[in-house]
Structure 1
Amino acid sequence: MKFTLKLSAALLISILFAAGFGLIALLVGFHRLNAFDRSIIRFMQGFETPGLSQVMKFFTAIGAGLPVTAIAVAIAMLLFFVLKHRRELILFVFALAGSQLLNVVLKLAFHRERPDIHRIIQVSGYSFPSGHSMGAFSLYGISAYLLWKHVPAKWGRSVLIAASAALVLAIGVSRIYLGVHYPSDVLGGYLASAFWLASSIWVYRKYDKRRANRT
């Protein structure tokens, strides 16, 4: 019964995240967030300095490309060779690959252009939802979930969660500060990725439960 309740909770959470994303997407589609988005970008860029811009460029760099690939490979090797959790590795790869595919589909569906206020860096492609935000949430979120039970101390678990959350937040904020995403792009990315992660975990645990019942 307890395990069933956990499965149901994971499904409910995924539905709530999907509803949240749907609301943001609806507001974006009807251009109800344009003024809010632009005001937040202007506010954040009001703190622009060369030093802060370098910090933000660093965080945006570790949110995609080679750094993300290197981190993902390192965690995958840890799961496979050190912790010997092959099934968890499948969940890890499924969560990351699915999140990237979902981002591509959503960007093509919404065709939202990037902000044109003041871009500190130049990028191409559509804006909604933020690929960096989805990628960061998926990578650090699923990593925290899978590594949680392998950290025995409570303080260690707290550090794991805090570090993961801080990285996800910093990467999202960097995209807004650098002028390549609206705040609603970042929030939409978080919600879409959270939906995908919760759904992936629900499917994984349901499969794991059935496998345990057969043995």
Structure 2
Amino acid sequence: MNLKYQLTRAFFVSLISLTAFASMAALVSADKVVRFDKAIIATVQGLESPWLTSVMELFTWIGSTKVVVVICLLIIFFLYNVLHHRSELMLLIAVVTGTPILNHYLKAFFHRARPDFHRLIEIGGYSFPSGHAMNAFSVYAILAFLLWRHIPTRLGRSVLILFSGFMIVMIGVSRIYLGVHYPSDIIGGYFASGFWLTAAIWFFQWYKERQPRLEARELGRNEG
């Protein structure tokens, strides 16, 4: 795929994600999503059962910071030692470390309290946007991006996308089911990470495009 096309696509996806997040944030701040949130929560929590609670707790655990760190270390090991990626590691590290930092400042800015009407687990902190949703989107989306070109078959790529999408959705839904996030927190988290991820990919692709030119220019100066 043409690199300029990739840059253009990453830019527009980043812009769309930013616009969508800003729109969701405006709706949340104006209390325009109350009915939407309550309707989704009622539907999701209406499925409550002991076995489903255990499943949702598992997905929430998978989306926790400790597990995300372990997953990222395994991905780094695989990319470096098996696929022999080098520069891609910087993209991965930037995405997964920048996501919680961005989430921290966004939560501090919006100060949205968590739901308090039916919690199955206890947790502190602010609610919007969801840190679990942001981390899940960043980790599994960047994983799909980095592994895509190494999978030769359409079936394999489809499995990769389905797996990544499934993990992102289930970790988000688990937070609604357990009563610690509003649906708008999850959606906002996805959009925020979508912006950060595609912006990072855009910068990475831009740097890759310019690097050979910079190296050639530097070589010419040294030879001169």
What is the TM-score with the length of structure 2 in the denominator? 0.93
The amino acid that maps onto 1:95 is V
After the TM superposition, which residues 5-154 of structure 1 pair with which residues of structure 2 at under 5 Å, given as runs? 5-154=5-154
CA distance in 2, matches of 1:173, 1:35: 18
What is the TM-score with the length of structure 1 in the denominator? 0.97
What is the CA RMSD across the aligned residues, in angstroms? 1.2
CA distance in 2, matches of 1:105, 1:65: 17
Partner of 2:174: 174
Paired residue total: 215
The amino acid that maps onto 2:174 is S
Partner of 1:162: 162
CA distance in 1, matches of 2:2, 2:156: 26
Structure 1 unaligned regions, length at least 5: none
CA distance in 2, matches of 1:141, 1:125: 25
The amino acid that maps onto 1:19 is T
Tell me which structure has the larger Cα radius of gyration.
Answer: 2
The amino acid that maps onto 1:141 is A
Moved more, 87-96 or 60-69: 60-69
Deviation at 1:210, TM superposition (A): 0.5
The amino acid that maps onto 2:165 is A
Conserved 8 A contact 2:3-2:205: no
The alignment partner of 1:149 has SS state of helix
Deviation at 1:5, TM superposition (A): 2.7
CA distance in 1, matches of 2:159, 2:5: 27
Partner of 1:193: 193
The amino acid that maps onto 2:93 is V
1:136-194 CA-to-partner distances (Å, cap 9, x unmatched) read 00000001100111111221111111000000000000000110000000000000001
Structure 2 unaligned regions, length at least 5: 217-224
Deviation at 1:65, TM superposition (A): 2.5
The amino acid that maps onto 1:125 is G
CA distance in 2, matches of 1:45, 1:137: 23
Give identity over the alignment, percent: 47
Moved over 2 A (4+): 212-215
The amino acid that maps onto 1:174 is S
CA distance in 1, matches of 2:3, 2:35: 45
Moved more, 76-85 or 160-169: 76-85
Q: Structure 2 vs 1, CA of residues 2 and 149 (structure 1 numbering), >3 Å: closer, same or farther? A: closer
